[in-house]
Structure 1
Amino acid sequence: MGNKNHQVHGHSGSGNQLKRDLTTRQLTMIAMGCAIGTGLFLGSGLAISTAGPGVLISYAIGALIVLILMGCLAEMTVAHPSTGSFGFIAETYIHPMAGYLVRYSYWIANVLAVGVEVSAIAIYMKYWFPTVPGLVWILFFGAVLIYVNAISVHTFATFEYWFSMIKISAIVGFILLGAYVLFGESSGTNMGPENLVNDGGFLPFGWSGVWIAIFISLFSFLGTELIAVTAGEAKDPDVAVPKALKATVFRLTVFYVLTLALMLMIVPWKSAGVDKSPFVKVMEILNIPGASGIMNFIVLTAALSAMNSQLYASTRMMFSLSQSKFAPAIFGSVSKKGAPLAALAISATGIVVAAAVSALFPNTSYAFMMGISMFGAIFTWLMVFISHLFFRKAWEQKGGRKLPIKMIGYPYLTIIGAVLLVSLMITTWVTDFKILLQFGIPWLIFLSITYFFTNKKKTLHHESVNQLNH
């Protein structure tokens, strides 16, 4: 495997090449844009109601898992700055089937997530246009973001950069406003650090609540792995990828922990997220006019940003599957500007599926799509840890080049990360998140069966070609 030191999967001499146009700044903003979604702005109350103030410990542990993950991912991505990323690495260092499972799981996770986000966007637009059918907004915004992704990776990155800037500015603004509410002249008598220990203490649900909330916290960090997917289009992967990963993990951790700490000190944890977003409550305390409209705009931007990133990620994964002969060759082709249009078209089907499923099964569609989506993402993270155990050993044995970044604590930290993820996934069976395993396990069985037939077809094709050549 030492001969693959500089290989960039998907950059063959066939002309099916993606363009290296992404800078470190763009990589960081893309990952943060994907990770900072509606879960923070509207769903943060779920984590708080599960662990109480102890949610701060949950997010700290979640951030530690992500830090280990990013360390492993950075080392492997610098060695193989590939569009297939963790899928290509799993295929190369574990087994082709591992790469197949990872790529398709990550692909379907993002395809379904695109559909979920665009469905949410239709709901948000009803705030301003209550009489316009949601299907109109699904088709409109779906078409706009498909167009953005179809032009070039630079156009996609530019849009995502500004989407992310709006969300990050909103978080920074909230932190400043929250600090003013707590320590300024307008601070109320029922606010302050004492809220962290009122109503049952710091751990009202014990350590079990903290443990379950760790799993919830991981969803807040999902999307950071997108940097590895974009590495195949980074200008200088050796420099850009490690910098972007470090900056992303640090900023996300600070944003989430600070934001949650302020929420808990301003709003008693028992009422956080029950009736409205804590963000809106802070705005109301400050008597900011149009608080709901401002919040709706921010959440709309968050959904558009997440949808944009997820559409990009699913497109690149399908492109990678085609490059590895696990999907039709047409999905591995690119336009003159370097955009994989066919892969984009098939990945955009999530928009159509979401519209249809939401119309047919309005009460269960969201849970169904998110169940597979969440499993695919967490399964990908687990495979990153496993891949790293195989990668480091093989890289050293084959005399691979000295990498500019190396994961510390190998193999112990890598194993700890994998064990924590497996434990958390098993725990979901006895929580409200059991849907993750209910859909995830059958999905892996289905993929394993399709791999058998796909691989058999590939083998027969190669044998036929060899016979013709002889």
Structure 2
Amino acid sequence: MASSETQATETRRAAHPDEGEAHAGGHTGLQRKMETRHLMMISLGGVIGTGLFLSSGYTIHQAGPIGTILAYAIGALNVYMVMLCLGELATDMPQTGSFHVYAKRFIGPATGFTVAIIYFLAWMGALGSEFTASGLIMQKWFPGSPAWAWSALFIVLIFTLNALSVRSFAEAEFWFAGIKVVAIIVFIAIGTLAIVGILPIAGYSHAPGLTNLVKDGVFPNGFAPVFSTMSTVVFAFSGTELLGVTAGETKNPGENIPKAIHTTFWRLAIFFIGSIVVMSALIPWQDAGVDKSPFVLVFDAIGLPFAGDLMNFVVLTAILSAANSGLYASTRMLWSLSNEHMIPQVFSRTTKHGVPLIALCTAMLGGLLALLSSVTAASVIYLALVSSAGLAIVIVWIVLAVCEIRFRLEMRRDGRDVGELSFHTPAWPVVPIVALVLSVGTIVLSGVYESMRSSLMYMVVIIVLCYVVYGITTAVTGRRG
């Protein structure tokens, strides 16, 4: 009997080489359809969003040009350290919903459950805000049209892309993210031409150069704003951890995930810091995007026609990209929880194309409830979801750093050599420790500054509730057993 089952399994794998590999929990329901280009754009798309296109000017206004560059450099270093930790874990244990699976194994089941739930809630809240924003963007082009109708249209679009197959999700995200990347490259290129005087810019009779970066001193508002904006900057880099969610549906994860991690980091550093340098050089830091996107301010100053409409299109793309990634991530978290027997098994059922449809419908329903709560209970439920979303991501980063350290200690205890790993975190244990310190520092800053304190409070309440729910559920199911 065992022999015939083994033969059947090998026959199935030979017929479906891209199907997810089985392990203790059984990943045979999902399919490995993502390639390196998908991974790179998914991680880029998860990070490049409205925070860069709309809110970066406010950061410059608060911390000054050099302070903002420093804050983004530290944020980039933090996320790169975390991604190196994730890369080691994901290549050795490529599992969908990897964060909570690693947390369950290396920290404890209750922590694994909590990490999955807060990550699910973070993306669920994001879905509500993205669908709301998409309707508002369309109203700028079609005044008088109902925002809810546009939101409904985009809800159907994003749901369909995720319901067809993981390949359709990945292709859509590739093109969504591609538009954002092209917009940033064009912005940096045109801005550079204006900086050196090749393109004229309003307010300057000569090449502006980089004098605006230090015109009013290195830190015009003092050094303290660098710390106060650090939380915002770190949250702006959230989304790269999506690579861990995709691990179970990636072709040849041992090769493709490390490649995506390294290329993503350098592109993010260039895109973010390059954009900040261009903004700061061409716009006085006091006026940098306080009331208007700094991208639009630069394009308007250069005289680029339809700058506002072009940026609205890019922002709409960023919104749809975030919604697409959010629905995927929240769906896979539910699937993984079910696959690990932490929630009912119905959520791990998949279609013939490897899509966990029931989990997908549940995640979309959660997004719709978040959208509804943004109207009916904005001061309580929705605020708690959205304001704590960034902290939820940072908590995932902390968990990843801890898991990587415990993974290495377990390897050492079992007599395994690091050379056995297809990818290993360099400079161990410095990298995970630095990642841990920087991530914990972000949480601490959230408590220090009053503007972030409510987010931390909401996050603590949600975490406590998750542990309580897990404890009660375990106790009840244990008695039944």
Whether 2:57 is the aligned partner of 1:45: answer: yes
Residues 1:164 and 2:177 are matched in the alignment:
yes
Q: What is the aligned partner in structure 2 of residue 467 from structure 1? A: none
Mapped to 2, the partners of 1:181 and 1:270 lie a distance apart of 20
Please say if residues 116 and 369 of structure 1, whose CA atoms lie closer than 8 Å, have aligned partners that are also in contact: no
Partners of 2:21 and 2:28 within 8 A in 1 = no
Match 1:429 to one of 419, 443, 447? 447
Aligned identity (percent) is 37
Give the structure-2-normalised TM-score: 0.90
Shift in Å, 1:50: 2.4
Q: Which letter does structure 1 place at the counterpart of 2:153?
A: F
Q: Please say if residues 195 and 282 of structure 2, whose CA atoms lie closer than 8 Å, have aligned partners that are also in contact.
A: yes
Distance 1:9 1:317 in 2: 18
The secondary structure found in structure 2 opposite 1:127 is: helix
Query: Would you say the 8 A contact 2:288–2:294 is kept in 1?
Result: yes
CA distance in 1, matches of 2:288, 2:399: 35
Gaps of 5+ in 1: 1-7, 464-470
**Distance 1:216-1:278 versus aligned 2 partners, 3 A rule:** same
Deviation at 1:218, TM superposition (A): 1.2
Q: Indicate the SS of the match to 1:276.
A: coil
Distance in structure 1 (CA, Å) of the matches to 2:28 and 2:454: 39
Cα offsets for 1:186-241 (capped at 9, x unmatched) = 15258331111123x11123332112222221122111010111010011010011
Give the secondary-structure state (helix, strand or coil) at the position aligned to 2:452. coil
Structure 2 equivalent of residue 196 of structure 1 = 213
1:439 is aligned to 2:458: yes
Q: 1:9 touches 1:83 (CA, 8 Å); kept in 2?
A: no
User: How do 1:363-402 residues align onto structure 2 when only pairs under 5 Å count?
Assistant: 367-400=383-416, 402=420
CA–CA distance in structure 2, aligned partners of residues 115 and 136 of structure 1: 14
Displacement, 1:409? Answer: 2.3
Give the Cα separation in 1 of the matches to 2:191 and 2:439. Answer: 33
Residue 175, structure 1, aligned to residue 191, structure 2: no
**1:3 corresponding residue in structure 2:** none
Q: Determine if contact 2:104/2:111 at 8 Å carries over to the other structure.
A: yes
- 1 CA distance for matches of 2:28 and 2:104? 20
Partner of 1:310: 326
Please state how far the C-alpha of 1:140 moved relative to its aligned partner: 1.4
Q: Distance in 2 between matches of 1:170 and 1:364?
A: 36
* Distance in 2 separating the partners of 1:185 and 1:148: 41
Answer yes or no: is the 8 Å Cα contact 2:43–2:241 preserved in 1.
yes
| Unpaired stretches in structure 2, ≥5 consecutive residues | 1-19
Could you tell me how far apart the structure 2 residues matched to 1:172 and 1:70 are?
A: 24
- TM-score, reference length from structure 1: 0.92
For each residue in 1:141-175, what CA deviation from the matched residue of structure 2 results, as whole angstroms up to 9, or x when unmatched?
Answer: 11111111011000111111110110100000000
By how many angstroms is 1:438 displaced? Answer: 1.4
Kindly indicate whether the alpha-carbon contact (under 8 Å) linking 1:86 and 1:228 is maintained by their aligned counterparts in 2: yes
Corresponding residue of 1:410: 428
Letter in 2 for 1:425: I
Q: Deviations over 1:297-345 (max 9, x none)?
A: 1100000001101110110011001111211111111001000001111
> Do 1:177 and 1:282's aligned partners in 2 also have CA atoms closer than 8 Å?
no
The 8 Å contact of residues 30 and 354 in structure 2, kept in 1 or not, is answered as yes
Q: CA–CA distance in 1 between the matches of 2:348 and 2:28?
A: 7
Paired AA for residue 407 in structure 1: T
Describe the superposition over 1:27-60 as per-residue Cα deviations: whole angstroms up to 9, x where unpaired. Answer: 1111111111111111112221221111101111
Q: Tell whether the 8 Å contact from 1:121 to 1:303 is kept in structure 2 after alignment.
A: yes
| Mapped partners of 2:353, 2:191: distance in 1 | 45
Alignment RMSD (CA, Å): 1.9
| Aligned 1:70-219 pairs, distance under 5 A | 70-183=83-196, 184-187=198-201, 188-189=204-205, 191-199=208-216, 201-219=217-235
Q: CA deviation at 1:287?
A: 1.7
Name the structure 2 match of 1:5. Answer: none
